[in-house]
Every structure is written in C-alpha cells, then in structure tokens.
Homo-oligomer: A and B are copies of this chain.
Amino acid sequence: MTLLNKVNGDLQRERDNCTFSVTELTNLIDGDAQKTEERKQREEMVLKEGIHLEPVPAVYLSHKEKYELAVKKSCALFKMIKRLQEEENAGMENYMAVLGGSLGSAILGDGNPITLHYVMFIPTIMGQGTVEQQAYWIGRAFNLNIIGTYAQTELGHGTFIRGLETTATYDPSTKEFVLNSPTLTSYKWWPGGLAHTANYCIVMAQLYTQGKCHGIHPFIVQLRDEESHMPLRGIKVGEIGAKLGMNGTNNGFLGFENVRIPRDHMLMKNSKVLEDGTYVNAPNSKLTYGTMMFVRVMIVNDMCNYIAKAVTIATRYSAIRRQSKMKPDEPEPQIIDFLTQRHKLFIGIASVHAFKLSSEWIWNMYNNVTAELESGDLERLPELHALSCCLKAVSTADAAECVERCRLACGGHGYMLSSNLPLMYGLVTAACTYEGENTVMLLQTARYLVKSWHQARQDSGTLTPTVSYIGRVASGRRMPPWDNTIEGIIEGFHVVAAGKIGVCVNQIEKRQKAGLCYEDAWNMTSVQLASASEAHCRAIILATYFKETQIRVDSASPALKQVLLQLVDLYVVYWALARLGDLLRFTSISERDVEQLQSWYEDLLNKLRVNAVGLVDGFDIRDEILNSALGAFDGRAYERLMEEAMKSPLNAEPVNKSFHDYLKPLMQGKL
C-alpha cells in the first residue's frame, strides 16, 4: 500500500480520528454490503475501459472539438454496453449508471449526445407506440441501428406545452402527415443530440385532421439520411450554440417545411388517426403524466449525487488547507477549524442524506401509484404530482446552492475548472429550469395545497397523507406550545406550511372580495403561494429524513447511529434557524428557544467536526468520478493543481505566438 503512504498528513489524521466505520456507512447508503460490492464492480468494469481518459482535458478544447470528443466517448461507451449485452452482463443498473448518475458524468462530464436515445426516444415508443410500432422500431433503436431523440420544447414555448406551434396535418389523399414550422418561435429548440447526432426524432406537434386541431401528439420523423447523414428535404436542423454547461450534449434546433411522414409514424397507443382522417380520442390523457413525474423523481436522486461530490471535495480540501492564525503561538489552523467553514460544509453533508431518503421515499410512492394507475386507479395521482413538482424545485434549488457554497468555500481555487466544481454547478443549475421551471413547479404544488385547504374546511378526514397536517391547522384548533426538540421543530414546520397556505387562501378571498377575478387574485398572491409551497416541501423533507433515518439506524452500530442522528439534528436545526421568521410568525417559539437553537447548532458543528472527513469518505466516490484536483482521496491538492495546470496547451510552449504578433510590436511602438 505505498499509495496510502502519500496521503496528506492532515487528512490521514482526520481519518484516524473518525469515530465510526466508514465501510458501514457506505453499505448503509448503498443499501447493504452486497450492493456496495456490486456498485464497486460496476465502476471498476466501466472505468477500466479508460473511456473517461482525455489526452488533453476537454476544458481546453474548442466547442466543436468538445462535441467531437463527446461523440467519440459516447460511441465507445455504447459499444461497451453492446458487448456487455452479448456477455449477458448488462443489467438495468449498469445501463442507468452509465447513462446518468455519477459514473456516467465521470465519462461524459459535459454531456452525452446519445443519452436521449435511451432516456426519451426508446421509452416514448415503448409507452406511446402500438404493439406493431414497438415491433418495428424498438429492435432497430435498441441495436443502435438508428439514433433518436425527443423534440418537444420550441424556441417560443417550454413550460406551456399547449402553446407549442409545430403542426402535423393529416392528408388523407396520401395517408401522410405534413409537418410544418409556421413561425420562427415554432422551431424545436434544446433537444439533446438533435443537432448533428440523431437521425430520427420523436416530434411533439399539434395534430390537425379534418380541419380540426386535436392538440399535441407524438410523431416519429426521420431527420437525416441513414447513409450520408445529410438532413432530409424540408428538415432544417442545426445546433443552438454554446451554453453554460453540457456542451457535449449537442442540443439542436429543428424546423419543418412540408415534411411528409407516413400515417403510421404517429405513435397511436393512446389517440389515433384512422386512414380517412377520423380522430379517435385517447382513453385517458392523464396517463402521459407518468413520464414527466418519472423524470422529476429521478432528478431528486441526481441532485444527491452532485451535492455528495461537491461536499466531498470541499470537506477534504478544508482539512488540508491551512490559513490564517487563530492564536499567535499556534500554527495556521486547518480551515475546517473555522466554525464559519463548517457552517458551509456540514449542511451539505446532511442534505445528501436528506434528499437521498426523500428520493427513495418518493420513488417507492411513484412505483405504487404507477401500479395503481395500471389497474385504473387514479386517486393518488394528484398527490404524487404535487409532491414531485415541489420536490423537483426544492431539491434542484438546494443542490445548486450547496454546490455553489462548496465551490466558494474552496476560495479562489474553487474557481479553477480542475476543482470540477464549476462544471458541476453548470449541470445542477440547469435542472432549476429544465423539466419544469422551478417557480412554475412550486405554483403547481400550491394549487394542490389550496385545494386541500378548502377540502380541509369541509372534511379534513379526506385529506391525502402528505397534506393531512393542513387539517390540524385549518380546523382552527389551538396549536400545542412550542417544543424545542427535533420532533417539535418538524411539527413547527408543518404549522408554518399550513399557516402560510391559510394566509394565501385568505389573501385570495380578500382580493376576490375587492373585485379581482380568481386568476388575478391568485397571481397577486403568487409570491406567497410559491413560498407556502416551499414551506410544505421543507416540512415533508424534514419529516421524511427524520423518520427514515430512525428506521435505518436501528440496526447500525452505536457509533454510526450517533453520528447519523447528529446529522439529522443538524439539518433540522439549520433549517429552523434559516426559517426563523416563519417560525416566529406561526408558532409560539420564544427568544430563549431561538438562542438555544443557535447554541445547539454551534454545538453540532463542533461535535460533527471530528467525523466530517469520515462522513464524506462514506459517500465512497472514486477519484475518477470526483475528477477534482482539490478533492482527491490522497489530499494532494496543491500537487494536483499544478499537475492539472501543466496540462494546459498554453504551457506546452514557453512563448506564445501572440508575443511576436502583437505584444512585441506594441512594446516596441511598431504595432
């Protein structure tokens, strides 16, 4: 173990002092020891292929070269997947791991131009195609004989799907649909892989037949010739340009000029257009909610991975970085010794656990509701929809904040791309606007909450489990006195959420009485509604994190149990202090309680200090996946920063040509 000898001394000391078994923590996070083993094997299997290695780091390449590298890596990756299929070694878990998650982003850090083929193209055909259509398309798609993507968003419309402008008009004379982009804003805009990668595409378009519009439907459209890859006639396709992140994703635009496709290229599992142009309605339009909810539930889990990476990097770096004098006669302290630094880091560690457990909880709920759906039971759909909306919004916003706070906690060095933190932020913040912009998401949940409030006033017994707390408050019963414990705080958050919903309902009614229509009254109250929705989500996350931890630590060793419960305490008290205004407004918390909370919080920052490195080691993120000069396991941050700097092509020559071209003439007055 010569490598281990090279671990930074400060970091080694942290590990020596850790009070619990890191392996036990890792197993607990993965599920059990076998799952850990499977994950490790999967990582080893994929990484040993070396696809993630870059001769020159992608950050130094031009935009075009970045795309070309992404295609190269992506093809190597799917070739590997094909091989694993043949070796019967490609389970669903392996698929998911390389398509998304930490492992996938270790290989294609800045976006994979073929991901949507697997994540949207194939699933949409499976979900919305007839049996015949599946038979025709799935084999070819699965074997990668064709590469598809999914085009919904347009230049002018994202969130508001009904506003999409692309048209597909049925022509019974030829039994074809004719696709058109009637305006500039109707151009498809954003789909990954659309620009230069995919040759097929599912296009969401307004269906017209027999002179009538029937709304948005899915169509399979061939975009490019299979041999030459040239765009087909009437297809205007290209890339949308450079972005804050994901520049390997090859996001494209797409316009149609009288593009004709056969009738059976409309996916007809639900609605149909018959040969003569007769439109046959879908049995149930709510079924299409499924995919959207699935993606949002997946996002919550994704966010955990990003926070875990960021906080691993920042915590290890804070253990090896020494700066300033705290006391004149002592050496410079590790920056993790500053309480302000722990304040920035530890909430990140706790957030990983909080969102991981919340994500597993909503994933179970999603599976149950989906099973119920298939047997025709739609009852829990609205509740799940409301939950997935606010959890998507809160988890992405919190993750962006955590990742950025970790980056800033690394000071100037966090600004280096070799820290990997900026790239990570680019990916996380994208999730705040994609798959439903966060404010819109919160207001979707708010509609459910307001409805629940009205329902509670009628009969609080009929409330669904996640909003049942509203009944306690809406009933006007006197609240119990403030209880300065974890359970008490969580109850306080429920009281706050219910209180805020109540205030909103009153506001809306007041505004209606003052003459506004419901829509205007709603809009005027929407800042408060979004805030109420966030409060509802906070209460749910806090309660879930607390409850699920209680269950899971039951069989843990006392040492680990203690630390995991401290993390729960930290998380709950952190949020209590962060939302003090709400607690002071809606509960009977006193100034004395507040000061106790503050001391409790500071005390937890102290207690968790010794285990901080152990806690992030427990996330067990391989160096290849972290991909950070600041956060590697060995803590050789300065050495790695210099090694990474030396990879810059500018450092390959002592004098850049711009000296001769511009600088020297300028200095000699000859420019």
Q: Report the separation of the CA atoms of residues A285 and B74 in the bound assembly, to the nearest whole angstrom.
A: 59
Asked if B339 contacts A667 (CB within 8 A), the reply is no
Pair A343/B527 contact, Cβ less than 8 Å: yes
Q: Can you list 7 residue pairs at the A/B interface with Cβ under 8 Å?
A: A196-B659, A243-B416, A326-B519, A339-B523, A408-B429, A584-B585, A585-B594
Ranked nearest first, the 10 interchain pairs of A and B with the lowest CB-CB distance are: A580-B581, A581-B581, A244-B422, A71-B658, A75-B662, A584-B584, A62-B62, A59-B242, A242-B417, A241-B645
Which of A289-297, A348-356, A474-482, A636-644 lines the interface with chain B?
A636-644
On whether the beta carbons of A663 and B323 are closer than 8 Å, the reply is: no
A548 to chain B, nearest CB (A): 28
Contact A642 B187 (CB under 8 A): yes
Which chain B residues border A583 with CB–CB below 8 Å?
A: 581
Tell me if A656 is interfacial: C-beta within 8 Å of chain B.
yes
A241 and B67 CA atoms in complex are apart in Å by: 21
Give the complex CA separation of A304 and B197 in angstroms: 42
Q: Does A368 belong to the interface (CB within 8 Å)?
A: no
Which residue of the partner chain B has the closest CB to A594?
A: B585
Q: Which of A68, A185, A579, A658 has the most CB of B within 10 A?
A: A658
**Are B655 and A147 in contact, CB atoms less than 8 angstroms apart?**
no
Residue contact A68 to B527, C-beta cutoff 8 Å: no
Cβ of A84 < 8 Å from any Cβ of B? no
Cβ of A72: which chain B residues have Cβ within 8 Å of it?
658, 661-662
Cα(A338)–Cα(B160), bound, Å:
14
Mark the stretch among A39-47, A91-99, A433-441, A559-567 that contacts chain B. Answer: A433-441
Q: A196 touches which one: B582, B655, B661 (CB < 8 A)?
A: B655
| Closest B residue to A418 using CB positions | B241
> Is there an interface contact between B163 and A332, defined as CB atoms closer than 8 Å?
yes
Interface of A is mostly: helix
- Given the known A-B contacts A339-B523, A666-B78, are A159 and B323 also in contact in the complex, defined by CB atoms under 8 Å? yes
0/1 per residue, A76-109, Cβ < 8 Å to B?
A: 1011000000000000000000000000000000
Least Cβ distance of A440 to chain B in Å? 8
Distance of A519 from chain B, by nearest CB (Å): 5
- Verify B654–A230 contact, CB threshold 8 A: yes
Contact B240 A659 (CB under 8 A): no
| Cβ-defined contact, B437 with A411, below 8 A | yes
The residue on B at minimum CB distance from A154 is: B638
Can you add 6 more A-B contacts, CB < 8 Å, to A76-B671, A147-B667, A238-B645? A75-B671, A159-B323, A238-B651, A341-B439, A527-B602, A581-B582
Which of B65, B156, B434, B648 is A638 in contact with, Cβ under 8 Å? B156
Q: How far is the CA of A412 from the CA of B432 in the complex (A)?
A: 9
Decide if B412 touches A325 in the complex (CB within 8 Å). no
Closest residue on chain B to residue A328 by CB atoms: B519
Taking a contact as CB atoms closer than 8 A, the residue among B229, B415, B666 that contacts A79 in the complex is B666
> 1/0 contact trace for A603-640 toward B, CB 8 Å?
00110000000000000000000000000000000110
Q: How far is the CA of A656 from the CA of B412 in the complex (A)?
A: 38
Q: For chain A residues 293-347, which have a beta carbon within 8 Å of chain B?
A: 322-327, 332, 337-341, 343
Residues of B within 8 A of A411 (CB): 158-159, 433, 437
Q: Verify if A647 is at the interface (C-beta below 8 Å from B).
A: yes
Q: Which residues of B contact A190 (CB under 8 A)?
A: 412
Is A127 on the interface with B (CB-CB < 8 A)? no
Does residue A556 face the partner (Cβ distance < 8 Å to B)?
no
Question: Is the C-beta of A61 less than 8 angstroms from some C-beta in chain B?
Answer: yes
Asked whether A645 lies within 8 Å of B253 as measured between CB atoms, the reply is yes
A663 to B651, CA, bound (A): 33
Given contacts A144-B666, A160-B324, A238-B645, contact A339 B527 (CB under 8 A): yes
* Cα A463 to Cα B653 with chains together (Å): 58
CB nearest to A195 among chain B residues: B650
CB neighbours (8 Å) of A231 from chain B are 654
CA–CA, A76 to B663, complex, Å? 10
In angstroms, Cα B650 to Cα A432, docked, is: 27
A229 and B433 within 8 A (CB): no
The contact string, 1 if C-beta is below 8 Å from chain B, for chain A 263-280, is 000000000000000000
Confirm or deny: A145 has a beta carbon within 8 angstroms of a beta carbon on chain B: yes
A647 CB contacts on chain B under 8 angstroms: 241
CA A656 – CA B238 in complex, angstroms? 11
With known contacts A63-B649, A196-B659, A323-B159, A416–B240 Cβ distance under 8 A: yes
Contact check, B68 vs A65: say whether CB atoms are below 8 A apart.
no
Do A196 and B656 touch (CB < 8 A)?
yes
Select from chain B the residue with minimum beta-carbon distance to A155. B638
CB distance from A182 to the nearest CB of B (A): 14
- Tell me which residues across on chain B come within 8 A of A380, comparing CB atoms: none
Give Cα distance in the complex from A591 to B229, angstroms.
Answer: 66
Which of A159, A602, A661 counts the most B-chain CB atoms under 10 A from its CB? A602
Indicate whether A434 sits within 8 Å of B412 (C-beta atoms), given known contacts A59-B242, A230-B654: yes
Q: Do A60 and B62 touch (CB < 8 A)?
A: yes
Query: A524: which of B79, B155, B602 is its contact (CB, 8 Å)?
Result: B602
Contact B146 A667 (CB under 8 A): yes
Does residue A233 face the partner (Cβ distance < 8 Å to B)?
A: no
- Does A489 lie at the interface of the complex (its beta carbon under 8 Å from any beta carbon of B)? no
Tell whether, in the assembled complex, residue A63 and residue B59 are in contact, meaning their CB atoms are under 8 Å apart: yes
Q: Known: A242-B59, A417-B242, A517-B327. Contact between A147 and B639, CB under 8 A?
A: no
- A429: chain B residues within 8 A (beta carbon): 404, 408, 415
Tell me which residues across on chain B come within 8 A of A668, comparing CB atoms: 145
Q: A520 vs B157: C-alpha distance in the bound complex, in angstroms? A: 56
Q: Quick check: is A403 within 8 A (CB to CB) of the other chain?
A: no
A401→B47 CA distance, assembly (Å) = 38
Q: Mark A225-256, 1 if CB is under 8 A from B, else 0.
A: 01011110000001111111100000001000
Complex CA–CA separation, A337 to B520 (angstroms):
10
- Is A530 part of the contact surface with B, judged by Cβ < 8 Å? yes
A365 within 8 A of B: no
With a CB–CB cut-off of 8 A, which chain B residues contact A155? 638, 641-642
8 Å CB contact of A663 from B71, B244, B581, B639: B71
Report yes or no: B244 in contact with A415, Cβ–Cβ below 8 A.
yes
Task: Given A411-B433, A594-B585, verify A67-B658 contact (CB < 8 Å).
Answer: yes
A71 near B244 (CB under 8 angstroms)? Answer: no
A151 interface contact, C-beta 8 A: no
